[in-house]
A and B are shown apart, each in its own frame.
Chain A
Amino acid sequence: MYSPQLSYMPSTTSQAMTPGLSSFLKSLKSNPIDTSIENLISLLKRRQICHSRSCATATAHLLRSVVSLCRTSESAKLIERVQSVGRRLMAAQPREMVVGNIVRRVLGLIRDEAEDDREAEFALSESESQPQTPRAFDDASMPLDRDSLAMGTERSSRPPLTSMFSLLSHPEPEASLPSTPGSQSPNPIPANGPSSKDLRAEVLVGINEIIDELDQVDEQISTYALEHIHSNEIILTHTSSTTVQKFLLRAATKRKFTVIHAESYPNNHKVTHDTVSGNLPSDDDLLSFESFKKPLIAHGITVILIPDSAVFALMSRVNKVILGTHSVLANGGLVAAAGTRVIARAAKVHQTPVVVVSGVYKLSPVYPFDFDSLIEYGDASKVLPYEDGDLVDQIDVQNPLYDYVPAELVDLYITNLGGHAPSYLYRIVSDHYRKEDISF
């Protein structure tokens, strides 16, 4: 309904800004919500927002606006609205899995709050007769108990059960238990005003927490640095991942070690060079809110910049490989910058531990059925510039941006929640996402 050209222009304030995360966040307040949605979709499609965290931040901010502007009091409608927006965002850039992750987390928030409300009501109605501890043999409470038991038939059958029990358990409505006739209270859960208004406020608080988490995630991860980096170790890393840089910087405040930095040509080498030398452009979109004060070398750390081709040769000297990632999948595998798999494989051959640092927001509940479809291909001119016109005509040039690294090549994940084995990630997935949201 909105033409893309129209929506993409910042409507009122017409600064000469390159479209990106910061321009999007600025325009979010002034633009109508539908324009903002279109705006983000086109930004994602054009890859003008392309960093995992930028995508996550943009999605979280957009959903916060969506939720706060959604004038409904019912959780079901709110879920539907968030789902429809989420679907469009995910369709815009299916490989940017953090978008889906944030949408799922917001959906989970809404569901949790809705259920809490329902339970609170339920608890109120039953609190005097059904205490937590079994008081069943207390004579006085006995008749009351049975009463509320019958009354609560419908709602108390909400399964507090595990999936394995679901086979035997909670009777379906038609197979309902010894309900005394007339006991099925026909009144559905009353949609009373104040509590459902709270719902939206609670959800907004939850989304703000997600946004805070996104801001703090690197600091949180870096608190584990001293446990993993020891004095005089040789650490190998790859790409200019800010999470890794902060991790190393935190260790550098206390310890002296050596960093071997693979430059990750052709997609990330310029930024990597700048990271190593410490003259990062300050106006860079993805680094704007985390400009480092000093590079590693300023802390007296020896940094060795190497081409990617030298990784295997140097691996025998390396004590630990620390990698950043683009997204982490439920089976413990990860999608990271091209070249990561080579490094992980080389580390495996030399029995060097591989540590992946990643925020929990990058952890996706999606199971990678088809690894090839996860790989995105980028600008071929970075490999072979178009000035070599003759060659470009004759050669098929490919520039994959990502690698899929299988779980068995990773020894440890460090997230903002701590260190986890790859086989444990499923647990974090089930803690953060609701089962019903995994494929929506």
Chain B
Amino acid sequence: MATTTEGTAQAGVKPFDIVATYNELLRSDPDLTMPIAAIEALVLLLTHEPSSTISETLDLLEKSTAHLKKAIPNPIGLSAGTDLFQRYLITTLQRPGQLGPAGDFKAIRTHLLSNGRLFIRRAKESREKIVAFGRGFIRDGCTVLTNGGSRAVASLLQKAADEEGGPSAVRFNVIYVLSSISKNIEEPSGEPEGMETVRALRAKGVPVSTIPESAVAYALGKADMVIVGAEGVVENGGIVSRMGTYQIGLLAKAIGKPFYCVAESHKFVRLYPLGQYDLPIEQHVIEFRSEEDIAEQNKQSADTSADRPIELPLCDSVDFTPPHLISALITDSGVLTPSAVSEELIKIWF
């Protein structure tokens, strides 16, 4: 943190706050995914920090990335973006060619800085590619069970619903699992995540049924497949996704329904979680408390809420779905088996 302020002080402009930029980017564009917002934030950082040498830039990136990761309670999604950005920079520098080792670091810099918008556009286009690959999965008369608020899943379902105007559209049903925990902390009785998609689908004439999480096992018998989104796709092909996805995966496996995950390939992240509690996130889903503890905590929170590690609010908690539960990943580079993810990652890292 200290180094960032140092760097900006040197530049003599208003200090650039990468965390605020990242949050602002996410807020301003609801279609933006976390990795892309992270890449955008880094691009903006580079525009603010005039660094002329490679190692200076890499150093700056590393420090700001570490700072950003520390400040955000769930850095899995964003680290996919920052890693991709860093690897891209390093590989481009190593590769002979147009932007190659001719020492023309400026060229790469200019390319990155001038094309920030382009990256966002491409990221959104990749969702369209996913739709093209995933269209075959949704067939006439099938019932899809889904959960969460994934934009990729929403666009896949909506595209299937309004393909080329009315009659040729696929006729399918959707069972939407709605979380009991409201997204909005200030207003606990507010509408759950995913209602927007439900409304959009209903507007397109798709019959949607909303069920609580407790009814998944009951409802799965009526579903033909499960399609979920993901926050991050980890190295072994498993996914980190909204709390509740893991249990849907387990149930789908038990009942024998295919379980598909829709994710853009920029969400692949170099992480190898061994289980639920091995994620690099501070989230307190399970908390054992006695009456005494509660009393103590109330007292503490009354004192001061500062200096406590940032933790994920319950509504944003995630779980890890291991790869053996996933039938296929629908990504913008095709329909992949979970084991294909590690190869994609190896390609950029080694």
**Which A residues lie at the B interface, using CB under 8 A?**
130, 132-134, 136-137, 145-146, 149, 152-153, 156-157, 160, 162-169, 171-172, 175, 177-178, 330-332, 367, 369-370, 423-427, 435, 438
Smallest Cβ-Cβ distance to A158: which chain B residue: B97
A169 to B265, CA, bound (A): 14
- On whether the beta carbons of A136 and B335 are closer than 8 Å, the reply is no
Interface residue? B340 (CB, 8 A): yes
- On whether the beta carbons of A156 and B97 are closer than 8 Å, the reply is yes
Q: A168-B39, A168-B84 are in contact. Are A367 and B136 (CB under 8 A)?
A: yes
Instruction: Name B95-151 residues within 8 Å CB distance of A.
Output: 95-104, 106-107, 110-112, 114-115, 118-119, 122-123, 126, 136-137, 139
- On whether the beta carbons of A167 and B126 are closer than 8 Å, the reply is yes
Q: A165-B348, A175-B115, A426-B336 are in contact. Are A149 and B102 (CB under 8 A)?
A: yes
- On whether the beta carbons of A164 and B119 are closer than 8 Å, the reply is no
A331 to B334, CA, bound (A): 12
A-B contacts, 19 of them at CB < 8 A, read: A132-B96, A136-B100, A149-B102, A152-B98, A156-B98, A160-B95, A163-B344, A164-B268, A165-B87, A165-B88, A167-B126, A168-B39, A168-B88, A169-B88, A330-B335, A331-B327, A331-B337, A423-B337, A426-B337
- On whether the beta carbons of B119 and A167 are closer than 8 Å, the reply is yes
A136 to B268, CA, bound (A): 34
A169 to B348, CA, bound (A): 12
- On whether the beta carbons of A332 and B348 are closer than 8 Å, the reply is no
Smallest Cβ-Cβ distance to B330: which chain A residue: A367
Residues of B within 8 Å of A171, CB to CB, are: 111, 115
- On whether the beta carbons of A163 and B332 are closer than 8 Å, the reply is yes
Interface residue? B18 (CB, 8 A): no
Smallest Cβ-Cβ distance to A423: which chain B residue: B339
- On whether the beta carbons of B98 and A175 are closer than 8 Å, the reply is no
Interface residue? B261 (CB, 8 A): no
Interface centre among A157, A172, A177 (most CB of B within 10 A): A177
Instruction: Name B304-350 residues within 8 Å CB distance of A.
Output: 327-328, 332-340, 343-345, 347-348
- On whether the beta carbons of A369 and B136 are closer than 8 Å, the reply is yes
Residues of A within 8 Å of B97, CB to CB, are: 156, 160
Smallest Cβ-Cβ distance to B110: which chain A residue: A178
Q: How large is the interface on B (under 10, 10 to 19, 20 to 34, 35 or more residues)?
A: 35 or more
Other than A162-B344, A164-B266, A178-B107, give 18 A-B pairs with Cβ distance below 8 A.
A132-B96, A134-B96, A136-B100, A136-B102, A137-B103, A145-B102, A149-B104, A163-B344, A164-B333, A164-B348, A167-B39, A167-B266, A168-B39, A168-B84, A168-B119, A171-B111, A423-B337, A426-B336
Name A172's contact: one of B87, B106, B118 (CB within 8 Å): B118
Shortest distance from the beta carbon of A218 to any chain B beta carbon, whole Å = 27
- On whether the beta carbons of B85 and A168 are closer than 8 Å, the reply is yes
Shortest distance from the beta carbon of A321 to any chain B beta carbon, whole Å = 22
- Across the A-B interface, give the 6 residue pairs with the lowest CB-CB distance, nearest first: A369-B136, A134-B101, A163-B333, A162-B347, A423-B339, A168-B88
Residues of B within 8 Å of A172, CB to CB, are: 118
Interface residue? B91 (CB, 8 A): yes
- On whether the beta carbons of B84 and A157 are closer than 8 Å, the reply is no
Name B98's contact: one of A133, A162, A166, A177 (CB within 8 Å): A177
Smallest Cβ-Cβ distance to B132: which chain A residue: A439
Smallest Cβ-Cβ distance to B89: which chain A residue: A168
Q: A134-B101, A331-B337 are in contact. Are A177 and B107 (CB under 8 A)?
A: yes
Name A165's contact: one of B84, B103, B107, B114 (CB within 8 Å): B84
- On whether the beta carbons of B84 and A164 are closer than 8 Å, the reply is yes
- On whether the beta carbons of B95 and A426 are closer than 8 Å, the reply is no
A175 to B107, CA, bound (A): 13
Name A367's contact: one of B99, B335, B340 (CB within 8 Å): B335
Residues of B within 8 Å of A163, CB to CB, are: 265, 332-333, 344
- On whether the beta carbons of B137 and A369 are closer than 8 Å, the reply is yes
| Chain B 263-294 interface mask (CB, 8 Å, partner A; 1/0) | 00110100000000000000000000000000
Interface centre among A130, A156, A169, A438 (most CB of B within 10 A): A169
Smallest Cβ-Cβ distance to B35: which chain A residue: A167
Smallest Cβ-Cβ distance to A438: which chain B residue: B334
- On whether the beta carbons of A162 and B348 are closer than 8 Å, the reply is yes
Residues of B within 8 Å of A423, CB to CB, are: 337-339
- On whether the beta carbons of A177 and B343 are closer than 8 Å, the reply is no
Name B337's contact: one of A156, A165, A332 (CB within 8 Å): A332
- On whether the beta carbons of B336 and A167 are closer than 8 Å, the reply is no
Q: A163-B344, A169-B88 are in contact. Are A426 and B339 (CB under 8 A)?
A: yes
Interface centre among A130, A137, A162, A171 (most CB of B within 10 A): A162
A367 to B136, CA, bound (A): 9
Name B123's contact: one of A153, A167, A367 (CB within 8 Å): A167
Residues of B within 8 Å of A424, CB to CB, are: 339
Shortest distance from the beta carbon of A162 to any chain B beta carbon, whole Å = 4
A330 to B339, CA, bound (A): 12
- On whether the beta carbons of B84 and A167 are closer than 8 Å, the reply is yes
A153 to B112, CA, bound (A): 17
Q: A130-B96, A171-B115 are in contact. Are A177 and B110 (CB under 8 A)?
A: yes
Interface centre among A165, A168, A367, A425 (most CB of B within 10 A): A168
